[in-house]
Amino acid sequence: MKRREFTRSLVGLPLAAALPAEAAFALLKEPLSLPEGGSITDVPGLKVGQHTLAERPTGCTVVICESGATAGVDVRGSAPGTRETDLLSPTNMVEKVQAILLSGGSAYGLAAATGVVRWLEEHNLGYKIGGGVVPIVPAAILFDLGVGDFKIRPAEDAGYKACIAATTGPVKEGNVGAGTGATVGKMFGPKFAMKSGLGTASVKVGDTGIVVGALVAVNAAGDVIDPRTGTIVAGARSEDGKGYRDSMEAILKGYRVVVQNGANTTIGVVATNAPFTKTQMTKIAQMTHDGLARAINPVHTMGDGDTIFSMSTGTAKVKADVTAIGAIAATVMARAIVRAAMQATSLPDLGFPAYRDYVLSQKS
């Protein structure tokens, strides 16, 4: 993406906060076009696998780099649930990770990482030490326990099955993997929320050979905004069911926020084949959060555990600029977030409509 195009994409988000709820919904009377797609698996060296527990619904998603990836992380939400994030600090020893796991199930879902570790060890993938390997698998979870049966959540077998399912092909979006139980628009309670899901996007950077991809499970307390137009895609519904509240506008007018702390969180991975150090990947993870800020409003709240991992497979034999790749990563992440909301399907039995049904029902 050219720098001017990237700069123009910055101006979309603030407009959404200024739109009254009626205007925001009026823009949605015609379905939006999906943002540019692609997949994080367009980054050479990566595979993605997913396991879905449709009976709850919940699930997990794993990004595998069998040759090892230099990684970073940045946590901005105030209610995170993570594993092995300290290891990714530039001051710490281990340089490579073999996989990153995103999971539903709140803290229980971190158990799925054990299944990923087991699969990697069986394939002799990990930090080599003594007579074997220690697979390095950072992970983050989102809280979806309020959607369906609380007792069903991803466990060790779910992570293992996600690894078995991993391929280099296009990644399925919507109600799948870590996005299966994801919802958005919960600033005024779950009864006004909408279904979201898992999204992915990628971009090939000119003729450089560099690819940047993003994968995200969107379970935000705030609304999902399309940065291209400032339009609410999915979020807190109005009480009469005829549009959106516009959470930020309502907050500015003094409406009481009833968000359940810890019951949200957007978790994702951004990846590139450009070679970078751990310090540089940490910066790229930080910059990627700009994509969250453009596509979710409000974001990084006390009730969210927003966490972004970054991975470099290093297969591109070119020197890349950290600032440029970080800026591109933010743009690709914003696209993936909007796609997560637009590709989701409704859960009518649980009272969570998705974008595609809510928009069309308003037209009829």
Q: Which CATH number covers residue 332? A: 3.60.70.12
Residue 28 is predicted with a pLDDT of: 47
Highest mean pLDDT among 4-8, 259-263, 284-288: 284-288
Burial 65-93 (b: 16+ CB within 10 A, else e): bbebbbbbbbbbbebbbbbbbebbeeeee
Q: Are 222 and 246 in contact (CB under 8 A)?
A: no
Q: Per the domain annotation, does 175 fall within a domain?
A: yes
Q: Which tens digit of pLDDT belongs to each residue from 10-65?
A: 223 232 333 333 333 333 456 688 888 899 999 999 999 999 999 999 999 999 99
Phi, psi of 42 (to 5 degrees): -70, -15
Q: Which tens digit of pLDDT belongs to each residue from 322-358?
A: 999 999 999 999 999 999 999 999 999 999 999 988 8
Q: Per the domain annotation, does 100 fall within a domain?
A: yes
Residue 13 is predicted with a pLDDT of: 28
Q: Per the domain annotation, does 364 fall within a domain?
A: no
Q: Strand 307-312 and strand 58-75: pairing?
A: antiparallel
Domain housing 88: 3-359
Q: Per the domain annotation, does 299 fall within a domain?
A: yes
**Of 17 and 318, which is predicted with more confidence?**
318
Tokens of 283: 């910066």
**Of 175 and 245, which is predicted with more confidence?**
175
What is the Cα–Cα distance from 309 to 285, expressed in whole angstroms? 6
In which band, very low, low, confident or very high, does the pLDDT at 258 lie, cut at 50, 70 and 90? low
Mean pLDDT of 108-132: 96
One-letter amino acid identity for 345? T
Q: Return the percent helix, strand and coil in the chain, to nearest 5.
A: 30, 25, 40
Tokens of 352: 């969570």
* DSSP bridge partners of 140: 82, 102
CA atoms within 13 A on the CB side of 320: 30
CA distances from 66 to 63, 151, 166 (A): 10, 33, 11
What is the Cα–Cα distance from 336 to 272, expressed in whole angstroms? 15
Q: Which tens digit of pLDDT belongs to each residue from 160-171?
A: 999 999 999 999
**What is the model's pTM?**
0.89
CA distances from 334 to 4, 154, 295, 329, 331 (A): 17, 27, 5, 9, 5
Q: What is the DSSP string of 261-323?
A: TTS--EEEEEEESS---HHHHHHHHHHHHHHHHHHEES-S-TT---EEEEEE---S-S---HH
Place of tokens 């995170």: 80
In which band, very low, low, confident or very high, does the pLDDT at 361 lie, cut at 50, 70 and 90? low
Phi, psi of 135 (to 5 degrees): -65, 135
Tokens of 185: 């628009």
Mean pLDDT of 160-185: 98
One-letter amino acid identity for 150? F
Q: Per the domain annotation, does 276 fall within a domain?
A: yes
What is the Cα–Cα distance from 54 to 51, expressed in whole angstroms? 9
Q: Per the domain annotation, does 118 fall within a domain?
A: yes
CA distances from 9 to 3, 283, 336 (A): 10, 20, 14
What is the Cα–Cα distance from 243 to 217, expressed in whole angstroms? 24
**Count: domains in the chain:** 1
Q: Are 288 and 214 in contact (CB under 8 A)?
A: yes
Residue 7: pLDDT above 70?
Answer: no
Burial 337-354 (b: 16+ CB within 10 A, else e): bbbbbbbbbbbeeeebbb
CA atoms within 13 A on the CB side of 57: 24
Mean of per-residue pLDDT scores for the chain: 89
In which band, very low, low, confident or very high, does the pLDDT at 262 lie, cut at 50, 70 and 90? low
